[in-house]
Amino acid sequence: MGYIRWGVAGSFLIAAWGLGLTGVSIASGNYGGRSDNSVEAELYREECGACHLAYPARMLPVDSWTEIMATLEDHFDENAEVSDETATMINAYLTDKAGKPGRGMLKRVKQDIPLRITELPYFVHEHDDVPVRLVRGNDEVGSFSNCNACHQRAENGDFDEDSVRIPGYGRWDD
């Protein structure tokens, strides 16, 4: 009977250890970010990252990415058109990796198609205590959409608040 107890206890310890490692990865905000080296992912980072942070696809649902890719001729008041082939490849990547409504950052998203990450309820909640003067009034930041100005590992898909450094202010601690 003692061997059975040790076996059960050992199984629980191994399971807890595995779940603990998963929790560390999730808590750190590292959801894979740059680990996708597919042609489509590289193309997305190259084309979209030429003008702004290539936001992790999980930050918006499929319908949002589809709408954004369909209106590149007026992409937030800029013409961001790419060739049809490039658009098709980027759209395939974004819709494949898109966030799932009701989960993660998209937990409280209404039925409307969100086009701005900065308007997501989760984003607003996470940034509501950051004084606007430290962002919009800061020439080195300029906008809440300029994630990588403050989030040191944003390019890797890591938005952990422990790595936030606001230019001209320093480490942010809420």
Tokens 């949002």 identify what position? 64
Q: For the chain, what is the domain count?
A: 2
Predicted pLDDT at 63: 94
- 47 & 90 share domain: yes
Predicted pLDDT at 13: 54
In a domain, residue 14? The reply is: no
- 52: DSSP letter: S
Predicted pLDDT at 23: 42
In a domain, residue 16? The reply is: no
In a domain, residue 46? The reply is: yes
In a domain, residue 22? The reply is: no
Predicted pLDDT at 107: 86
- 108 & 138 share domain: no
Predicted pLDDT at 33: 47
- 84 & 146 share domain: no
What distance in Å separates the CA atoms of residue 2 and residue 39, rounded to the nearest whole number?
Answer: 54
Pairing outcome for strands 165-166 and 170-171: antiparallel
In a domain, residue 11? The reply is: no
Mean model confidence pLDDT for the chain: 84
In a domain, residue 19? The reply is: no
Range of the domain at 100: 32-113
DSSP-H helix ranges across the chain? 2-27, 39-48, 62-70, 84-97, 121-127
- 48 & 89 share domain: yes
Predicted pLDDT at 142: 95
What type of residue sits at position 135?
Answer: V
Per-residue CA distances from 72 to 44, 80, 122, 137, 147 (Å): 13, 5, 25, 28, 21
In a domain, residue 50? The reply is: yes
- 45 & 106 share domain: yes
In a domain, residue 134? The reply is: yes
- 105 & 152 share domain: no
Residues of the chain short of pLDDT 50, as ranges, are 19-33
Predicted pLDDT at 61: 94
Predicted pLDDT at 108: 84
Predicted pLDDT at 37: 81
